[in-house]
Chain A
Amino acid sequence: MTTETLIGPGFSDPVFQSQGAFRALLAALAEPGTRHVLPGAIIPPEGLQAATATALLTLADYETPIWLPPTLRDGAAGAWLRFHCGAALVSDPAQAAFAVIDGTAPEPALAAFDAGSDQFPDRSTTLIVQCAALKGGEAVTLTGPGIATTRVIAPSGLRPGFWAEVAANNEAYPLGIDLLLSHADAVLGLPRSTRIVEFA
C-alpha cells in the first residue's frame, strides 16, 4: 500500500474537538464576517484546508451528502471523508447538504446548490469556500442579523463575480445557501441573511 492511499487520522478526541469546532462555527454564522479559528489541529487530507476538514468532521455524517470537486472526490479527500464521516459523496451539487469549492474555481455557480424550499428553507446546502486568505482582497461591506451596524471583510482568492452571486443568494432570502469561507484553520461565516451592501 502506498502512502497516497493511506487515510490519515481524524479527531484524536472527537467529543471535545468537535464541541470546540462547533462553537466556533456557531459564532461564525451568528456574527457574519468575523474570523473564528476552529480548534482541533487535525492534519487535513490533500486538497482540504484544516478548517474545511474540521468543519466537515464536526457536522457531516451518514445523513448529509457531501459534494466535492471531482479531483478531490476521487482523491485522498474523498476517501478521508467517506471513512471518517461515513458521508455519501454525490456528483450533483443540488443534492448536497455540505459542499466544498475552491474560491477561484469558475464552476459550479452558487445557484447550482440546493437553496431549500419555501416551506423548508433549512434544507439548503452549506457551502465551504476555500480561499487564498481571509484578508487582503477586495473590501466588501456587510449588514444584517448578527452585525450591529456594518462590517467590512476582504477575503482574497475568489473568482470574479463571486460577490454578485452572494448578493443574488441573499435576494432569495429566506431561501439560499449558507457560506463559510475557510483558510488554514479559520473560517468566516456568510449566512444567507447577510446582505452585501457594497462591493467593487
Chain B
Amino acid sequence: MNAHQTLPADEAVPAYNYAYLDEQTKRMIRRALLKAVAVPGYQVPFGSREMPLARGWGTGGIQVTAAIIGPADTLKVIDQGADDTTNAVSIRRFFEKTAQARTTEATEAATIIQTRHRIPEAPLTAGQIMVYQVPQPEPLRKLEPREAETRKMHAWAEYGLMQVKLYENIARFGEVTTTYDYPVMINGRYIMAPSPIPKFDNPKMHMSPALQLFGAGREKRIYALPPHTSVRSLDFEDHPFRIQSWKEPCALCAATDSYLDEVVIDDQGSRMFVCSDSHHCETRRAEGHRGTMLGDATANGLVDPSSSTVIPGDRRETRDPFRNPAGQGSGMDPGSPLRSARDDDAKVETGADS
C-alpha cells in the first residue's frame, strides 16, 4: 500500500510500523489525547499496550510520544533532568530506531520533550509538547485505594480528603512534607498528579505556553494540560505553597535558580550540589559561568574541559556512548563516580515510574 509497509531488504531488521505502534493503537491513543485536552486534568482510560520494555520504565510516555511523533519533529528525552541517564538514552534510541527520529539535547531545539520527573529549566515555548512519564496518575490513590471511589470523588469534585491530608501534614510536621508529585488543581476543577516532578517545577506548569501530555502505561491513563491552563498547587492561606531552595549555587555552573541534585563525591561525607538539568548546566558553562568546584571536577576528569565549547543543539555533541563511541562528547564521563552517585541519589528519592 505504501513504502513503509514493504519489508526491508535486510531480513534481520524487524518490519515495525513507523514509531512501533500499529495504526489502530495510535488512533485509540490519539482519541484519548483529544478528550484529555478537552477536559484538562481528567484521566482518560486507554488501552495501554505491551512495549518492548518493562512497565515502570516509561511505557506510558513512550506510547504518547509514538502516537504524536512525525518526521517534522525533533525529540529530546530526559530522565531526572539529564539527557545521559539510562532511561533517557534507551528511549531516545528507541525512537531513533523505530521512527528515524531527529533527536537533540537542546531544550529550545526540541518540538517534543519526553521527560521522567523534571521540567527543563529553559522556559518552554509555544508549539513545544511535553510528554511526562507517570507512575501513578491518581493523586487520591494513597488516600483511597478503590478506583470506583476515586472516580466518584473526581466526578463530584469531592476533594476534602486531600486538604485533610495536607492539613495533617502541617499539624504533625509544621509544613507540607510532600516534595515531589505535589497535587495541583487544574482549571479550578480536577485535582491532578503532576507526575513525580519536584514541587520546584510546579510553578512552571501554570499558564505554560507548551502543551503538556501525561501517559501512565501501567495504570492505563492519559491526561493533559493545554497551553495557558491554570495550575494551582494546593495550599492553605496561612501555609502558602513554597518551592525548594538551596543555600549554595550549582558547584559547576554557579546557577542559583535551577533545581540542584546533591551528589556524594567521596566516602568522607563530602558532597556537591549540581544542576539536575544537564543541558542547562552545560549551556551555562559554555557561556562562561563557573562554579566553585568546576576546576576540581575538570582536573579529576569528571567534566571534560572541552565542554566549554559545547554548541547547544549540535547533534554531534552527545554523551551517548552508542552514538559517540570515540568518547569525545561533552559533559560527564559515563562511567565516572559522579554519574553513578547522581543516579543513585535520584532513583532512591522517587521510585519507579511508568
Binding site for B on A (CB under 8 A): 12-16, 18-20, 22-23, 25-27, 29-31, 58-61, 63-64, 97, 118-119, 121-122, 124, 126, 144-148, 173-174, 178, 191-193
Contacts and interface: CB of A to CB of B under 8 A. Distances in A.
A14 B1 contact: yes
> Which of under 10, 10 to 19, 20 to 34, or 35 or more describes the interface residues of B?
35 or more
Contacts of B18: 15-16, 19
Given A145-B187, A145-B226, A58 B211 contact: no
A23 B33 CA distance: 11
Contacts of A18: 23, 26-27
Contact of A122 (B24, B32, B71): B32
A165 B319 CA distance: 56
Interface stretch (B37-45, B53-61, B164-172): B37-45
Contacts of A119: 151-152, 154-155
B4 A15 contact: yes
Contacts of B23: 14-15, 18
The 10 closest A-B pairs by CB, nearest first: A191-B38, A146-B226, A122-B35, A118-B155, A145-B229, A30-B226, A19-B70, A122-B44, A119-B155, A178-B38
A12 B2 CA distance: 7
A150 to B, nearest CB: 11
Given A26-B34, A64-B31, A144-B187, 5 more contacts: A15-B4, A19-B26, A30-B211, A118-B156, A193-B39
Interface of B: 1-4, 17-18, 23-24, 26-28, 30-40, 42, 44-45, 67-71, 151-152, 154-156, 187, 189-190, 207, 209, 211, 224-230
Contact of B34 (A20, A29, A144): A29
Contacts of B28: 63
B228 A121 contact: no
B24 A59 contact: no
A192 to B, nearest CB: 6
A16 B70 contact: yes
Nearest to B190: A174
